[in-house]
Amino acid sequence: MVKLVVAYRHPTDVDEFERRYRDEHVAMARRIPNLSRIEFGKVAGMMDGSKAPYHRIAELYFDSQEAMGQGASTADGQAAIKHAAEIASGGFDAMVVQVED
């Protein structure tokens, strides 16, 4: 199993980002084919209490890297990727993680 971890940096307009993320992006991400599980969360801060470099984290799970690639290459996958780039005014980092038990 692999997961795509999308770490959104702090947006220039938090309210607008949150509105579009909640009202538009979450539903788009849920439509990506081959997705087996998805988790979303708002970053509360660092363990030492300082501000984290990220505003939100999304974790999208797939049975394999091939399944993830297939899902990302579909119209729904491409739309979600494009939308993420559009709303992430602070930018984002996307990492593929091999899930271990």
Per-residue pLDDT of the chain (101 residues; tens, 9 = 90+): 999 999 999 999 999 999 999 999 999 999 999 999 999 999 999 999 999 999 999 999 999 999 999 999 999 999 999 999 999 999 999 999 999 98
| Per-residue pLDDT at 84 | 97
* Nearest by Cα to 58 from 89, 86, 90, 84: 84
Q: Specify the CATH number for the domain of residue 83.
A: 3.30.70.100
* CA–CA gap between residue 54 and residue 8 (Å, rounded): 5
Domain that holds residue 27: 2-98
| Per-residue pLDDT at 7 | 98
* CA–CA gap between residue 4 and residue 68 (Å, rounded): 8
> What is the token pair recorded at 2?
């692999």
* CA–CA gap between residue 1 and residue 47 (Å, rounded): 28
Q: How many domains does the chain have?
A: 1
| Per-residue pLDDT at 13 | 97
